[in-house]
Every structure is written in C-alpha cells, then in structure tokens.
Amino acid sequence: MPFLNEILKHRSLSIVGLEKNTGKTVCLNYILARLNQMGVECAVTSIGVDGEQTDAVYGSAKPEITLYERMLFITSEKHYRQRQLVSEITAVDPRRTSLGRLVTARVICGGKVLLSGAASTGMLRSQIEEFGRQHVPLTIVDGALSRLSLASPTVTEAMVLATGAAVSPNISQLISKTRYVCRLIALDEVEPTLQQQLSPIEKGLWGIGSDGEVHDLELQSVFLLGKKECNIFRFGTTLFAAGAVSDHLLKYLASQKNISDIRLIVRDFTKLFVSPEVYADYCRRGGQLQVLQRSNLVAVCLNPTSPQGYNLHSETACAALSEALQLPVYDVRKVKGS
C-alpha cells in the first residue's frame, strides 16, 4: 500500500474508527506486518483496551494484535501477564490504571498481545515523547471504540481513518458520514502568527481584533449566548473557541446578520461536536471555520462487513468512497500477504 511510505514520514500515528468494528485492528496488523518486513522499528500502544479475541458487544470473533521481534509495546500489568509472546520489560510506569500499572516491553519472540494503554490523552502524549527520546522512529496508537480525540494533532502527527459497513450498510449513508468527517479533518489552518498567539489558550471564547490582539470575552459558557447581554463581536468578527464546540454555538453564529463576516477558529477537528446539518447550514450562510492545527490523514481504510451480518461489495464500496472523498480508499484484507 502506498500509504506505508507516507506513514514513515511521521513519528506518531493514530488508527481511528468512525464506529466500533470498522477494522482498526485489521488495519493495525497490516501496518505492523509491513513495518516488520521493511525492518522498521516501532512502538505500539492503545487508549482503552484493544486486541481482545471476542467482541464485547456482539460476541463475534475479533482479530488479535500481532507483534514482531524488536517491537516495543505498552500494556497494563494484567494484560502483560496474558501475552502470547516472549518479551523483556524495559519500564514500568508508577501511575496506575484500572488494570494496574502500565508495562513497557520489547518483543523477543513475536506473537499475540492484548493492549490496554493510557487512561488519558495527556498520558499518551508523554509516552509518545518518551519513545521519541529513545529514538524510536514511529509510535502507533490503536484507539478503543471511536476515540477521535486520538487523531488530534496535539497527540499524534498523522492518522488512518477506518470506516465501513458498521457505520452504515447503505453505501450512500456510508459515503455521507465518512465524507463529513473527512471534511472536518481537512479544515484550513489559520495563519502561523495567529496560531502562535492562540495555542497557549486552553479554555473560553476569545475575540480577535483587526489589529491581531486577542481578547477574553469572559463568557463562562457558550450556552449563555442569547440569554445575557454579551456582545461577543465587540472586538471583531473573528472568534476562537478554545474548548469543545457544539451545535449551540454554530446555530447562534449562523443566526447573526453578519454571518458572512464571521470566522470561528477551533483547536482542531476533534473539538467539533456538531451535526452535519448544522455545520452545512453554517457554511451555506457564509460562516467560516478554521483550525489551529490540521490533522494529517494518510489513509482511509474500509471494512466491508459488519457484526450484524451486513456485507458491502469491497471493490464497489472502495471505488465509490474514493471518488466521493477524492482520496485512495483501501481494503487491507484484499492485499496479498496481509
């Protein structure tokens, strides 16, 4: 797959699914097998639990995670004891999760493993940084469920998006849902000067004046918009929302007479919790939406089957998605030797 070369341009990668059972583990196993063939050293971890043999919801069989000689991995004490490979411990994190301390180990003889990693994205970032200090060229994070927060550029440099029949067995709906997320991922970045100014801000709604000055609008919650006297445009029509953005804020902005002049900046696409309909209405009315950091989508992978028994025709679905997204879409199970 061509995206392997793109992955190797980055130091960290997240594999994220639009829904559960979209083939994240299959995709991870494909990437790990190829990296092993290429002789590339890497580290692997997860947020939550991944690699279990049976789906906890549907009871169906799931692919286990296969690691190869010299790969590093992080998992909890509980699941480290259950590993089906030979490894040596290189570190034990004193911080505890619900499954015990986190163990870092290097594979001596390859096999299967259950990954249960960091309990927060902050802990995950520190693990990636530590692997970087050890000169590990690539750290891969496999996300449990549909944790899009892993794909934040503040956590990993690049991402692979997994989609498929579990999102919708209807090809039109599958395209619509996947295309919407890809549009958010591809939002334009702000100019570098403004990016530097806004990056340290962690919460609140802020106004940016025409002179570039950043002002705290002192609004405790965006849900107070329209309920109190608060002119959020007193410094200009460019706004920065440091935290999560919901339908409420976009609806409020879309209702303004000067909507075509409004530019809303968010930290990255993972902070947007907005419905496709509200987002489309905001854009149709002329509102602008930008991010401080754009996520780097290196590949979209498709799982044509769902645990409910629905099956899409792989080649047809991949071709339709690829045309709609204007991106290559891969079914990694179709690759010879994967």
Same domain flag for 152 and 27: yes
Summarised one tens digit per residue, pLDDT across range 156-209 is: 999 999 999 999 999 999 999 999 999 999 999 999 999 999 999 988 999 999
More confident site: 152 or 325: 325
Same domain flag for 299 and 278: no
**Band of residue 48 on the pLDDT scale cut at 50, 70, 90:** low
Task: Yes or no: say if 12 and 138 are a contact pair by the CB < 8 Å rule.
Answer: yes
**Band of residue 224 on the pLDDT scale cut at 50, 70, 90:** confident
Task: Yes or no: say if 91 and 129 are a contact pair by the CB < 8 Å rule.
Answer: no
Rounded Cα distance, 293 and 298, in Å = 16
Same domain flag for 94 and 217: no
Same domain flag for 119 and 239: no
Number of folded domains that form the chain: 2
Domain limits at 287? 192-291
More confident site: 267 or 229: 267
- Residue 1 predicted with pLDDT over 90: no
Same domain flag for 167 and 122: yes
**Measuring CA to CA, which residue among 176, 181, 73, 166 is closest to residue 127?**
73
Same domain flag for 215 and 100: no
What is the model's pLDDT at position 20? 84
CATH code of the domain containing 130:
3.40.50
Summarised one tens digit per residue, pLDDT across range 128-146 is: 999 999 999 999 998 754 4
Rounded Cα distance, 321 and 317, in Å = 6
**Measuring CA to CA, which residue among 240, 254, 245 is closest to residue 208?**
240
Which pTM does this prediction carry? 0.87
Lowest-confidence range among 49-53, 291-295, 312-316, 320-324? 49-53
Q: CB under 8 Å to 293, separation ≥6 — which residues?
A: 152, 153, 154, 189, 195, 267, 268
Summarised one tens digit per residue, pLDDT across range 90-132 is: 999 988 788 889 999 999 999 999 998 887 888 889 999 999 9
Summarised one tens digit per residue, pLDDT across range 19-45 is: 888 988 899 999 999 999 999 999 999
Same domain flag for 44 and 170: yes
Chain centre to alpha carbon of residue 317: 22
Q: Calculate mean pLDDT across residues 290-310.
A: 92
Same domain flag for 72 and 180: yes
Same domain flag for 286 and 303: no
What is the model's pLDDT at position 335? 62
**Band of residue 58 on the pLDDT scale cut at 50, 70, 90:** very low
**Measuring CA to CA, which residue among 107, 88, 105 is closest to residue 35?**
107
Task: Provide the residue type at 323 as one letter.
Answer: E
Same domain flag for 315 and 231: no
More confident site: 297 or 19: 297
What is the model's pLDDT at position 149? 65
Rounded Cα distance, 120 and 291, in Å = 22
Same domain flag for 307 and 158: yes
Same domain flag for 281 and 325: no
Burial string for 45-66 (b: 16+ CB within 10 Å, else e) reads: bbbbbbbbeeeeeeeeebbbbb
Question: 133 by DSSP, 3-state: which?
Answer: helix
Average pLDDT score over the chain: 88
